[in-house]
Amino acid sequence: MDVLIKNGTIATAEGSYKADLAIEKDKIAAISRNIEGEHGKVIDASGKLVMPGAIDVHVHLQLPFCGTVSADDFENGTKAAACGGVTSVIDFAIQKKGETLIDAVDARKAEADEKVCVDYALHAVPTDWGVNTAAEMEKLASDGITSFKMFMIYAKEGMISDDDALFSALETVSRFGGVVGVHAESVRVLDLLIERYHNEEDMKKYGAFCHVLSRPNFTEYEAISRAVTWAEATGGKLYIVHMSTGEGAEIVSKAHERGVKVFAETCPQYLLLDDSVFRKKDGHLYATCPQIKSKKDADRLWEGLATGDVSTIATDTCTFNTEQKAMWKGDFTKIPFGLPGVETLLPLAYSYGVVNNRLSLQKLVQTVSTNPAKIMGMYPEKGSLAVGSDADIVIFDPDRQIKLSHKDLQTNCDWSPFEGYELNGYPDVTICRGKVVAERGKFTGETGFGKFIKRRPGYDEL
């Protein structure tokens, strides 16, 4: 065996138990109470948790946006992932007008392939629905891309998918088992409200809080309700990305009762922050789309994770540094939306979920690893600790205490939305396909090591 992990506590979506784990090449070769014999590398995991590597199914690396490009590219963004115990990420191939969806995917893969340091996949993003789009989706699915993202906003930017396109996409994936992810916000009312607050008087009075005033909860949950309606009508599988409202969780819960194939994702910023951050002097730094909501919303999202109404925690990582964020110059409509996050996903979810008794350890593994793998068609190769699965493993130290600082992170960002947060537990060793890629928060792998993940149709229910 190439690597032997001794004396750890194996933590999976099903439960926890003491065992050793052996790796041969890039696969898990054995899990047993006491594995002996010759091994190339032995890691003592006494007192530590041995978990499947986290999977962040929502990242935007080197994304052109608002006249700039997000600060973490495919290389550094995946190095940051490794340092945080994330062994797979899914980014986006966004179609340009006049471009085929297949060409968009090929172009994005060309940007990523030589840079990625952990394994990666892509969501294809149709923004120019036409007579050939459905056939292109089916072709991409046969080539290992089974998930598709559609924007219910960004009409002025030319990226919106109106109801007819969304309905058609859901019909299409129902034929081959794919999934349509949606950014759910009600564009027409949203744009109306943004324009209403986009004036010198209100922007001077409220500053970045205009971002909150122009995006009340109903702009998200009305769109979620509409998307769920189309999923129910078509039988297509739906995935709500970055859900931020408690009302959204209620809609998804009721849809589950009716047997609708819908999954929901939320993010650490919606669980741990509240909209008071936009009243701070540097409140513009926290602008995301959709924006951070209230503590009441956060509480309902935590509840949804515990009950299964919310299936996954991802990050929507889109890193902009303070210089890039300063482009707003007091105009809330010009803030580059996005936060750094992939590197702190797992330690935050553990510290404020498991340690604070909001999530069980088993539920944590489900929401950051196993559920993402099942929904996105990567299970059991990813998201699992089982003989034959990819050796994507994080050895997590539950006793390591850290005060979070951006200065200690791999990300290129010069600030963190969670600056000063007390972390009770942190990744000790990250292994991707049998190779150690990070130790104690420092990248030790190789640029370009990551591979493109060809995926199958995912699960219809968890």
Closest CA to 76 of 445, 453, 378: 445
For the chain, the structural domain boundaries read 53-375
Please compute the mean of the pLDDT values over residues 38-52 and round it to a whole number.
94
The three-class DSSP label of residue 112 is helix
pLDDT, tens digit (0-9, with 9 covering 90-100), for 309-330: 999 999 999 999 999 999 999 9
Contact 141, 124 (CB under 8 A): no
Residue 99's SS3 state is coil
What share of the chain has pLDDT > 90, as a percent? 98
Question: What distance in Å separates the CA atoms of residue 124 and residue 122, rounded to the nearest whole number?
Answer: 6
Band (pLDDT 50/70/90 cuts) for residue 349 is very high
Cα separation, 10 vs 18, in Å, equals 6
Query: What is the rounded CA–CA span in Å between residue 101 and residue 171?
Result: 17
Three-state DSSP class for residue 119: strand
Which residue is listed with tokens 């604070």?
A: 356
Report pLDDT digits (tens) over 391-445: 999 999 999 999 999 999 999 999 999 999 999 999 999 999 999 999 999 999 9
pTM: 0.98
Q: Is the confidence at residue 37, as pLDDT, over 90?
A: no
If you search the block for the tokens 């919106």, which residue do you land on? 160
What's the mean per-residue pLDDT of the chain? 97
CATH architecture entry for 53-375: Alpha-Beta Barrel (3.20)
Tell whether the model's pLDDT for residue 302 goes beyond 90. yes
The alpha carbon of residue 420 and the mean position of all alpha carbons in its chain are separated, in whole angstroms, by: 23
392 in Cβ contact with 120 (< 8 Å): no
What value does the mean pLDDT take over residues 52-59?
98
For residue range 181-204, list pLDDT tens digits in order.
999 999 999 999 999 999 999 999
Q: What is the pLDDT of residues 100-141, one digit of tens each?
A: 999 999 999 999 999 999 999 999 999 999 999 999 999 999
Checking if the pLDDT of 2 tops 90, the result is yes
Q: How confident is the model at residue 1 (pLDDT cuts 50, 70, 90)?
A: confident
Residue 311 CA to residue 242 CA, distance in Å, equals: 11
pLDDT band, residue 52 (cuts 50/70/90): very high
Sequence-ordered alpha helix ranges (H) in 322-457: 322-325, 345-349, 361-365, 371-375
pLDDT exceeds 90 at position 39: no
Compute the average pLDDT of residues 221-250: 98
Query: What pLDDT is attached to residue 244?
Result: 98
Angstrom distance (rounded) from CA 255 to CA 305: 16
